[in-house]
Amino acid sequence: MSDKSIHEASSLTLSALVRARRTIHEFTNEMPPRELILNALDAARWAPNHHRTEPWRFYWLGPATAEHISLLNADIVRRKSGEDAANAKLRRWRAMPGWLAVTCLRNEDPAREREDYAACCCAVQNLLLLLWEAGVGSKWSTGKVTQAAPYFDALGADPKTEFSVGIIWYGYAEAVPVQARPALATALRELA
Ligand SMILES: Cc1cc2nc3c(=O)[nH]c(=O)nc-3n(C[C@H](O)[C@H](O)[C@H](O)COP(=O)(O)O)c2cc1C
């Protein structure tokens, strides 16, 4: 999708915006404005959250932390798939322009923690849609590195009190994938 057609997305109704947002795998190297990201994060927090626990934590990563996490990830890939795969992955991760890491607060009550994770996912979806509305694409990633202790060290987060929701990469889309979804009837059961 060209810049022009991405910006046309911002005039979409909410229904059209929800349908049009796609996970973006290739970004240009242009960085969206700082204010745009802050505004999107601020609005994203208006997600439903049971008991108003506000369980989300957002880590906005600068280049040094992004590089550190990219190298941690490459180490994991190297152990599993070898040097070439690790280098390819490193190149891809280094090409990601904007980086956010999202975590959720742990709770000793598993039911509460599950609901808090649901709330975090609502906040992330808000974020992805708000970014898309502003012409910014994103990708939610839950790769293995996001479960690793050194990842939490890199964030300065305590894995005993927070768990990972994922990395959100963002930037301007180089291309927007086309996707079809099954008919609503596959998911809907209407009852008397
Ligand atoms: C919880 C969650 C984790 C995801 N993790 C990854 C991931 O690790 N790698 C990836 O390529 N996509 C990941 N995705 C994106 C999905 O693959 C993507 O949403 C799906 O293919 C549907 O495409 P769409 O986002 O364009 O609708 C994740 C999505 C969610 C909701």
C-alpha to C-alpha distances, 19 to 32, 110, 129, 181, nearest whole angstrom: 22, 32, 10, 10
Residue 161 has pLDDT above 60, yes or no: yes
Q: Which of 159, 4, 169, 188 is nearest to 70 (CA)?
A: 169
> Residues 56-108: pLDDT tens digits?
999 999 999 999 999 999 999 999 999 999 999 999 999 999 999 999 999 99
pLDDT digits (tens, 9 = 90+) for 107-135: 999 999 999 999 999 999 999 999 999 99
Helix (H) / strand (E) containing 138: strand 137-141
Query: In whole angstroms, how large is the CA radius of gyration of the chain?
Result: 18
Mutate to test the pocket of ligand 1, among 18, 132, 141 (most ligand atoms within 8 A of CB): 141
Strands (E), 50-113: 56-61, 98-105
Atom of ligand 1 nearest to the CA of 25: 11
28: helix, coil or strand? Answer: coil
DSSP helix/strand/coil, 131: helix
Torsion sign, CA atoms 49, 131, 162, 25: positive
Q: Which residues contact 122 (CB under 8 A, 6 or more apart)?
A: 47, 48, 49
**Rounded Cα–Cα distance for residues 188 and 163 (Å):** 32
Q: Could you tell me if the CB of 142 is within 6 A of ligand 1?
A: yes
- Interatomic CA distance for residues 38 and 60, integer angstroms: 10
Among protein residues, the one with the nearest Cα to ligand 1's atom 17 is 23
Would you state the pLDDT for residue 21?
98
Q: What is the pLDDT of residue 39?
A: 98
Q: How far apart are CA 141 and CA 93, in angstroms?
A: 11
The answer to whether 102 and 166 have CB atoms below 8 angstroms apart is yes
Indicate the pTM of the whole model: 0.94
Determine if ligand 1 sits within 6 Å of the CB of residue 141: yes
Average pLDDT, the chain: 95
The Cα 49–Cα 51 span in angstroms is: 6
Our answer on whether the CB atom of 140 is closer than 6 Å to any ligand 1 atom is yes
Is the CATH code 3.40.109.10 the one for domain 3-177? yes
Instruction: Tell me the sheet residues that pair with 141.
Output: 167
Q: Average pLDDT of 22-30?
A: 97
Nearest CA to ligand 1 atom 25: 23
Domain ranges of the chain: 3-177
Query: What pLDDT, on the 0 to 100 scale, is given for residue 41?
Result: 98
